[in-house]
Structure 1
């Protein structure tokens, strides 16, 4: 798997370069049937990743920007690639740099390897189940989670900039029962999950819709770093969160349920 990992990093960076080429231009924005934005960068990144993956494996590919594959066909897949060529298109359009290239390898409904590359920030996260997770920035590679000293009775939450709904606000408020200090920060795209894997955040509640390709790569990285990403069931007792089942992939409906990403030592 080591050679595949090197190839994946190369593919992600090549896609990131193409995204940045468009990022610097006065690009047009289209809107898909679900009203989500689409740019030339999404399309170009998709083409580069698909071409690259076809050169290194025969696994099927499921992409946000690819043609839809029926459940009847994909339900029999053991291994397949799940990609989001440009996660955080709204962040891309707003030019805040918080967008990523996401590539995940799924095995029997579970992400086992993931690459998340933020080209504008030049930060790369990668992880493989059983092999660990890593962050690469400024030429320096560090194993995740990076050791950050936690203050007693304090929890750090990372939340969505554009999807902080009422249910999420109530969830965050409920944390005050367990911690004296609840600190909240916001960042775009799958970087939120990566911050939990890294150890800069302790918990990320996402009680709003996402698609499987939005989370798969970062989910693999979080698991490889010892964390969990669980299906959220409404409860006042948050101690039971860690006992909830992990998100599953390649469902008939590719919409994720509400979930919570957790560091291993939370609660």
Structure 2
């Protein structure tokens, strides 16, 4: 894909994420029912409605590129193997935050090539803020405003700010990070917003020692890596995609390393 076509696809995906976000907000602002999937995680009509919007759009924009999406996978099972190039979609990342009505939920769309997230869109419907990462450039835009370049900050020697999950953090996870890193403070954020907080230079570190799926992390990782950060397993390998079962190992997201 040429640079020009990649940029065009990025802009198209921003529009798709905003359209899915509008559907989510419509449900968010009225009564809705919460169900449980087979793994006991919550799901609402907003998850399925937003995914339908995204899948229809991707079929039109890139009909030859397969899609692995959360709710589709919950219904039909994850693919046995991953193609060289595919989309990963989490139509409503942070369903618990959606149910709690705290605004910290996102629409995640990522393009994977050769196991790496090369394009990512993270959209926050509640604030109309959209983060995008492509080709070493990360940006943030509010509504239909002009995109603003963002970059991860160099991790400060005096101590790191750690992003922790609003709904999934546990004391053991936080203590493990504090034993390994010089943590000066913490911020709390839901969904893939934690990756974006590092990408825009507000936080430096996000350790995750619990269960996540690839669609939870791909878009956020693409944004963070485009902003100069990185995401690694606890063994120090790059967090890759298209793994058997599409389940992630434990990982740590970092800001920009000191020279």
Give me the TM-score of the superposition, normalised by structure 1. 0.88
Q: Residues 78 and 246 of structure 2 are in contact (CA less than 8 Å); yes or no, is this contact kept in structure 1?
A: no
Is 1:70 aligned to residue 79 of structure 2? yes
Q: Residues 68 and 88 of structure 2 are in contact (CA less than 8 Å); yes or no, is this contact kept in structure 1?
A: yes
Which 5+ residue runs of structure 1 have no aligned equivalent?
234-243
Is 1:246 aligned to residue 252 of structure 2? no
- What's the offset of the Cα at 1:255? 1.4
**Alpha-carbon spacing, 1:17–1:182, altered in 2? closer, same or farther (3 Å):** same
Is 1:153 aligned to residue 158 of structure 2? yes
- Alignment coverage as a number of residue pairs: 249
- What's the offset of the Cα at 1:146? 6.5
- What's the offset of the Cα at 1:165? 2.4
- What's the offset of the Cα at 1:226? 1.1
- What's the offset of the Cα at 1:208? 0.8
- What's the offset of the Cα at 1:3? 1.4
Matches of residues 7-18 of structure 1 in structure 2 within 5 Å? Answer: 7-18=12-23
- What's the offset of the Cα at 1:166? 4.1
Give me the TM-score of the superposition, normalised by structure 2. 0.91
Partner of 2:3: none
Q: SS at 1:156's partner residue?
A: strand
CA RMSD after TM alignment: 1.8
Is 1:129 aligned to residue 121 of structure 2? no
Which 5+ residue runs of structure 2 have no aligned equivalent?
1-5
**Alpha-carbon spacing, 1:63–1:197, altered in 2? closer, same or farther (3 Å):** same
**Alpha-carbon spacing, 1:153–1:147, altered in 2? closer, same or farther (3 Å):** closer
Q: SS at 1:115's partner residue?
A: strand
Cα shift readout 1:186-241 (whole Å, capped 9, x = no counterpart): 110000011111110011111111110000001111111111000013xxxxxxxx
Q: Distance in 2 between matches of 1:116 and 1:162?
A: 19
Q: Distance in 2 between matches of 1:195 and 1:127?
A: 13
Q: Residues 202 and 266 of structure 1 are in contact (CA less than 8 Å); yes or no, is this contact kept in structure 2?
A: no
Shifted more, 18-27 versus 181-190: the winner is 181-190
- What's the offset of the Cα at 1:182? 1.3
Is 1:262 aligned to residue 217 of structure 2? no
Q: Distance in 2 between matches of 1:169 and 1:265?
A: 21
Cα shift readout 1:5-35 (whole Å, capped 9, x = no counterpart): 1111110000000000000011000100000
Q: Distance in 2 between matches of 1:50 and 1:192?
A: 25
Q: Residues 144 and 225 of structure 1 are in contact (CA less than 8 Å); yes or no, is this contact kept in structure 2?
A: yes
- What's the offset of the Cα at 1:253? 2.0
- What's the offset of the Cα at 1:119? 0.4
**Alpha-carbon spacing, 1:152–1:161, altered in 2? closer, same or farther (3 Å):** same
Equivalent of 2:228, from 223, 226, 238? 226
Partner of 1:174: 179
Q: Distance in 2 between matches of 1:166 and 1:19?
A: 32
